[in-house]
């Protein structure tokens, strides 16, 4: 029920269930649902982390049990624009996909995902559980494929002195800081310019001013530090870093970790990527971080971060742990997604909702 006491408008039905915007559910129903899914955490604390509560109603759908008004299921859909084969394609990253235990076996999970499936839209998911993988496979999705989880265990203040310095004399750098609702200004112009120069390389989410303006509209208390690299006065790449929110994972809380939300370089230029990786470490050091974390599907990014001292799934000993925890990704091989291979997709925290959860 919504705040006015009237049933929210349904856009689909499954027996006793209706699909409605998740933001239309009343607070009591949301608390009950959250308590059923995450019994070990405070429901109010968990509700405060839902980025979709600050987004448009079409970014998350709920399954409403009409006889009782219960919040039975949830599926978030992070809308974006993907660049595939040289053209822009509307896309949705599936996230926050849960069904309350009392409502298992009703086909709700399948229907919630299919709510976002429309002709011409690219559907994908990143960082998914084994249970979700099984269900995605039943829906005909491709995968799963593993990304590379990158972890810098050496404090950034030390790493920036120990890592080999990449020659970047022809590059100039400008740093920015932005938080919730703040205008991008000159940073937005640089992001647009970089996206244009990326052209039709690997399939990726457009990282332009429109995308980052949306992210800042839903990011809550998170603040990002950007470093933009320019060559001959033209922006050619950037990196975005921020401190992790406390209370997400106990281990990383103790490490006071920073995350690289995104790393983007025109043509994946080796020198440029190396310089930006170094700038990311410097930004994290300035934030007082003791460790750094990111995930990527791009080989050139993994190599650049590796030269800065980041461990990866290929690293002896610690690599086995990272491999088991590296986010897995899948997609629906229809429409724009048909014919894509795992190596065709450039994915990072910036392409999904992970950055808005950590």
pLDDT, one tens digit per residue, over 174-205 is 999 999 999 999 999 999 999 999 866 789 99
Nearest residue to 224 (alpha-carbon basis) of 194, 273, 253, 191: 191
Q: Is residue 314 part of a domain?
A: yes
pLDDT at 166: 58
Q: Judge if 174 and 305 occupy the same domain.
A: yes
Number of domains making up the chain? 2
Q: Judge if 288 and 320 occupy the same domain.
A: yes
Q: Judge if 155 and 27 occupy the same domain.
A: no
Nearest residue to 347 (alpha-carbon basis) of 198, 147, 195: 147
pLDDT at 94: 94
Q: What is the pTM of this model?
A: 0.88
The SS3 call for residue 310 is coil
Gyration radius of the chain over CA positions: 21
Q: Judge if 84 and 167 occupy the same domain.
A: no
Q: If pLDDT is split at 50, 70 and 90, which confidence band does 12 have?
A: low
What span, in angstroms and rounded, lies between the C-alpha atoms of 15 and 317? 51
Q: Judge if 248 and 266 occupy the same domain.
A: yes
Residues ≥6 apart with Cβ < 8 Å to 92: 77, 78, 79, 80, 116, 121, 122, 123, 124
Which alpha helices (H) appear in 165-313, and where do they start and end?
A: 186-198, 209-218, 250-255, 270-286, 299-307
Where a domain ends, among 146, 174, 201? 146
Judge whether residue 341 has pLDDT over 90: yes
Q: Judge if 137 and 204 occupy the same domain.
A: no
pLDDT at 276: 94
Q: Is residue 1 part of a domain?
A: no
Q: Judge if 118 and 216 occupy the same domain.
A: no
Give per-residue pLDDT as tens, 257-303.
Answer: 899 999 999 988 888 999 999 999 999 999 999 999 999 999 999 99
Judge whether residue 104 has pLDDT over 60: yes
Residue with tokens 């970089």: 194
Nearest residue to 32 (alpha-carbon basis) of 84, 103, 93: 103
Judge whether residue 141 has pLDDT over 70: yes
Q: Judge if 259 and 320 occupy the same domain.
A: yes
| CATH number reported for the structural domain that contains residue 275 in this entry | 3.40.630.30
Which of 85-94, 198-207, 307-316 is the least confident region?
Answer: 198-207
Q: Judge if 132 and 182 occupy the same domain.
A: no
Q: If pLDDT is split at 50, 70 and 90, which confidence band does 167 have?
A: low
Q: Is residue 355 part of a domain?
A: no
Q: Judge if 315 and 291 occupy the same domain.
A: yes
Average pLDDT over residues 331-342: 93
> What residue numbers bound the domain in which 104 lies?
13-146
Nearest residue to 297 (alpha-carbon basis) of 317, 324, 327, 269: 327
């Amino acid at each position: 029920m919504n705040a006015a006491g009237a049933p929210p408008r349904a856009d689909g039905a499954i027996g006793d269930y209706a699909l409605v915007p998740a933001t239309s559910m009343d607070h009591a129903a949301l608390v009950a649902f959250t308590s059923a899914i995450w019994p070990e955490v405070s429901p109010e604390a968990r509700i405060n982390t839902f980025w979709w509560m600050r987004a448009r109603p079409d970014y998350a759908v709920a399954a409403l049990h009409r006889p009782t008004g219960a919040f039975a299921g949830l599926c978030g859909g992070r809308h974006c624009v993907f660049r595939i084969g040289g053209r822009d394609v509307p896309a949705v990253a599936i996230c926050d996909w849960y069904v309350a235990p009392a409502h298992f076996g009703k086909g709700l999970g399948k229907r919630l995902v299919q709510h976002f499936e429309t002709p011409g839209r690219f559907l994908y998911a990143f960082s998914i559980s084994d249970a979700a993988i099984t269900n995605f496979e039943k829906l005909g999705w491709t995968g799963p494929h593993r990304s590379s989880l990158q972890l810098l265990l050496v404090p950034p203040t030390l790493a920036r002195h120990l890592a080999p310095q990449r020659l970047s004399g022809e590059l100039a750098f400008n740093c920015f800081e932005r938080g919730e609702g703040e205008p991008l200004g000159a940073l937005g112009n640089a992001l647009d310019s970089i996206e244009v120069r990326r052209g039709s390389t690997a399939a990726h989410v457009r990282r332009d001013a429109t995308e980052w303006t949306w992210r800042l509209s839903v990011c809550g208390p998170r603040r990002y530090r950007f470093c933009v690299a320019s060559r001959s006065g033209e922006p050619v790449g950037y990196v975005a870093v921020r401190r992790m929110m406390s209370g997400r994972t106990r281990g990383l809380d103790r490490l006071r970790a920073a995350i690289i939300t995104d790393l983007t370089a025109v043509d994946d230029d080796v020198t440029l990527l190396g310089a930006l990786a170094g700038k990311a470490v410097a930004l994290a050091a300035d934030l007082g971080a003791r460790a750094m974390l990111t995930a990527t599907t791009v080989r050139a990014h993994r190599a650049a971060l590796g030269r800065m001292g980041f461990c990866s799934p290929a690293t002896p000993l610690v690599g086995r742990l990272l491999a088991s925890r590296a986010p897995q990704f899948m997609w629906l091989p229809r429409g724009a997604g048909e014919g894509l291979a795992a190596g065709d997709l450039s994915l990072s925290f910036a392409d999904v909702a992970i950055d808005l959860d950590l």
